[in-house]
Amino acid sequence: MAKFYEPDMGAEPDNPFARDANGKLVRRSYWLDMGDRSIVLMMNHGLGKVLSNEQKRMHLNDIGRGHLIEEVCTVEILPPEK
């Protein structure tokens, strides 16, 4: 089962993906104050680009932006098996 992204808090103490011991976002208001377009840009080209698709999906659902999953999560196309 996938886990939420866990940033290096030593290197980035103000990372917006930081969670407390219970798994709740520490900077939740950061995400809730952001518009949909800004979130898409952040997840695709900003700090969120290091997350896996599953981590992005979990994060978007957690902040109530599940409707952005198709815009944020890229579809991986595998070559046909020989």
pTM: predicted TM-score of the whole model, two decimal places? 0.84
- Euclidean distance between CA atoms 12 and 72, whole angstroms: 23
Number of domains composing the chain = 1
pLDDT of residue 25: 93
pLDDT tens, 48-75?
Answer: 999 999 999 999 999 999 999 999 998 7
pLDDT tens, 10-46?
Answer: 888 889 999 988 989 999 999 999 999 999 999 999 9
| Residue-wise DSSP of 4-59 | -----TTT-TT-TT-B-TTS-BTTHHHHHTS-HHHHHHHHHHSGGGGS-HHHHHHH
DSSP letter at 23 equals S
Domain, as residue range, for 69: 1-82
Greater model confidence, 9 or 58: 58
